Amino acid sequence: MVTSKTKVEKDLELSIQVSLDGLSFCTRNPKENALTHYHKIKFEQQLDPIKLLEEIEAIFEKETVFQQVNHLKLIFDHSLYSFVPKTLFKEENASDYLKFNTKILQTDFIANEEIGNTGIVNIYIPYTNIINFFFEKFGEFEYQHLTSILTKTLLSYTTNTEPQVYAHVKDKEFDLLVLESEKVLLCNTFQFNEKEDFLYYLLFTAEQLNLDPQNFQLYLLGAIDDSSPLYKIAYTYIRNIDFLKTNFSFKRKKESEKINFLEEFILLKSFE
């Protein structure tokens, strides 16, 4: 989705990934293909969209790097979305696709975007107060749902004709994507409190799709490494597990050296 308004010519590209429990942002100098600034913030508790905007406003006042931005991409990271085949999608019925998964208010704005050449439309609820804030600051900018970027990117990674399972791990939540060749078999977001919950959703999904834990390939990305309890319990029950190989060519300035490429995979892929 794209808003429109005249923008001021400056130097940097900015990507911001927002969720109700935190946000991260990074700037890129396109001439040098260099990551120049990175910041990640975790909130003590989950906020509502109004409080989230207050946090963003405070950050905007402190971070002078925003004054150097000429291109913005905003990524919404939440579970208020639904994938629908393009052949069945009707924009006037957009709320009907979401109402079975989440509570919808009459005032909610519902966005939709096609995911590459998959024949799938992602329908979701963006936070309009945050869109309006950035529109006033930057003018024209693009926004997308995280799962749209995740799906399109991972499809380009998937060459095997056998189903590939991807778990994009966040704090107490993960996106689970199952791909086969150029087809999306499943995309869903699950909340979890314990490592056993994480394992349950992995194995239950595999069972529903007739995938054998001894055979299918599971790739992990996001906030996870080989010391994570999530990795250790999954490794006990699933034979083929690996961490997604990242293939970024960015140069890193001193201010961006602390970026974990696997954890910020979607944020960085949004520059491509």
| Same-domain check for residues 121 and 63 | yes
> For residue range 224-254, what is the model confidence (pLDDT) as tens digits?
999 999 999 999 999 999 999 988 989 988 8
**Do 208 and 130 lie in a common domain?**
no
CATH, residue 106: 3.30.420.250
- Percentage of the chain beyond pLDDT 70 is 97
Q: Per the domain annotation, does 1 fall within a domain? A: no
Q: Do residues 132 and 174 share a domain? A: no
**Contact yes or no for 77/127 (Cβ under 8 A):** no
- State whether 61 and 101 are in the same domain: yes
pLDDT at 253: 84
Query: How many domains does the chain divide into?
Result: 2
* Residue 236 resides in a domain: yes
Q: How confident is the model at residue 161, as a pLDDT?
A: 77
Q: Are residues 239 and 253 in the same domain?
A: no
In this prediction the pTM is 0.92
Check whether residue 253 and residue 231 sit in a common domain. no
Contacts of 198 (CB under 8 A, 6+ apart): 167, 169, 174, 190, 192, 230, 233, 234
Task: State residue 87's pLDDT score.
Answer: 94
Q: Are both 116 and 35 inside the same structural domain?
A: yes
CATH number at residue 180: 3.30.420.260
Low-confidence residues in the chain, pLDDT < 70: 1-9
Residues 124 and 211 in one domain: no
Rounded-to-integer distance, Cα 158 and Cα 119, Å: 17
According to the model, what pLDDT value does residue 229 have?
97
Same structural domain for residues 73 and 128? yes
Q: Is 22 part of any domain? A: yes
Q: Do 23 and 122 fall into the same domain?
A: yes
pLDDT of residue 7: 44
141 and 188 part of one domain = no
Q: Is residue 115 part of a domain?
A: yes
Same domain flag for 114 and 233:
no
Percent of the chain with pLDDT over 90: 78
Which residue range(s) make up the domain with 34? Answer: 12-80+94-146+248-269
Pairing of strands 12-19, 81-85: unpaired
183 lies in some domain: yes
